[in-house]
Structure 1
Amino acid sequence: MENELLRQELNPFMPGAGMQPPELVGRERDLEIVDRMIARTKLNNLDRGIIFSGLRGVGKTVLLVKLQEMAAGKNMLTAKIESSGNPDDDYEAIFHEINLAAMKIHLVGGLKKRLGDVISNIKSMSFGAFGLSASVSRESSAQTSENPFKLELLIESITTELKKSNSGLYLFIDELQEMADEPLGTLMSIQHKMGQRSLPFYIIGAGLPNLPGVLSKSRSYAERLFEYRTIGQLSDADAAEGFQKPARRNGRPFTDDALNELIKVSSGYPYFIQAYGKAAWNASGSNPIPLQAVTKSEACARAELDDGLYSARWQRTTPPGRRYLAAMAKIGTESPSSTAEVADRLGKSTGEISMTRDKLIKLGLIYSPEYGKVAFTVPGMGEFILRAMPSDGQVYDGR
Structure 2
Amino acid sequence: MESSERSSSVPTQALNPFMPGAGIRPPELVGRERDLEAIDRMVARTKLQLMNQGIIYSGLRGVGKTVLLLSLQEIANSKGMATARIEAEGDPRADYDKLFREIGLLAARLQSSTLQDKLSNVISNAESVSLSIMGIGGSVTVSDSDELRTSSLRLELVIESIVQQLRAENSGMYLFVDELQEMDKEPLGTLIAIQHRMGQENMPFYLIGAGLPNLPGVLSRTKSYAERLFDYRTIGQLSEEDTAEGFQKPAQRGTRPFSDEALKELVHVSHGYPYFIQAYGKAAWNVSDSNPISLDSVKRSEPIARAELDQGLYASRWQRASLMGREYMAAMARVSGDVPCSSSDIAEDMGKTPKETSAVRDALIHLGLIYSPERGKVAFTVPGMGEFITRATPPTGQAYDQTR
Trace 1:240-389 onto structure 2 (pairs within 5 A): 240-389=244-393
Q: Which residue of 1 aligns with 2:76?
A: 71
Counterpart in the other structure of 1:170:
174
Q: Which of 35, 38, 41 does residue 40 from structure 2 map onto?
A: 35
Alpha-carbon distance in 2 for matches of 1:247, 1:386 = 33
CA RMSD of aligned residues (A): 1.8
Deviations 1:160-203 (A, max 9, x none): 00011110000000000001111101100001001111110000
- For the pair 1:106 / 2:111, whether they are aligned, the reply is yes
Give per-residue Cα distances to partners, 1:304-346, cap 9 Å, x unaligned: 0000000011011111000000000011223111101100010
- C-alpha separation in 2, matches of 1:333 and 1:149: 46
CA distance in 2, matches of 1:310, 1:345: 23
Match of 2:93 among 88, 93, 97: 88
Give the drift of 1:394: 2.9
- Structure 2: state its 5+ residue gaps: 1-6, 134-141
Partner of 1:157: 161
Asked if 2 retains the 8 angstrom alpha-carbon contact of 1:159 and 1:169, the reply is yes
Q: What is the rounded CA distance, in whole Å, between the counterparts of 1:281 and 1:128 in structure 2?
A: 62
Judged with a 3 Å threshold, the aligned counterparts in structure 2 of structure 1 residues 256 and 92 are, in CA distance, closer, same or farther, namely same
Number of matched pairs: 386
TM-score (norm 2): 0.93
Give distance in 2, aligned partners of 1:347 and 1:144. Answer: 44
Sort the Cα spacing of 1:398 and 1:15 in 2 relative to 1 into closer, same or farther, 3 A: closer
Does the CA contact (< 8 Å) of 2:82 and 2:109 recur in 1? no
- The question of whether the paired residues in 2 share the 8 Å contact of 1:21 and 1:274 is answered with yes
Task: Give me the whole-angstrom Cα distance separating, in 2, the residues matched to 1:126 and 1:74.
Answer: 34
Under a length normalisation based on structure 1, what TM-score does the superposition of the two structures give?
A: 0.94
Pairing partner for 1:215 from 203, 215, 219: 219
Match of 1:132 in 2: none
How much identity, in percent, do the aligned residues show?
61
Q: CA deviation at 1:297?
A: 0.5
Letter in 2 for 1:271: Y
Summarize the Cα distance change of 1:250–1:223 in structure 2 as closer, same or farther, 3 Å threshold: same
What is the CA-CA distance between 1:397 and the residue it aligns to?
8.3
Q: 1:111, 1:4 → 2: CA distance?
A: 48
Between the aligned partners of 2:127 and 2:343, the Cα distance in structure 1 is 50
**2:240 aligned residue:** 236
Q: Contact 1:319–1:398 at 8 Å: present in 2 too?
A: no
Letter in 2 for 1:27: R
Q: Judging changes above 3 Å, is the alpha-carbon distance between structure 1 residues 398 and 121 closer, same or farther for their aligned structure 2 residues?
A: closer
Q: Which moved more, 1:334-343 or 1:139-148?
A: 139-148
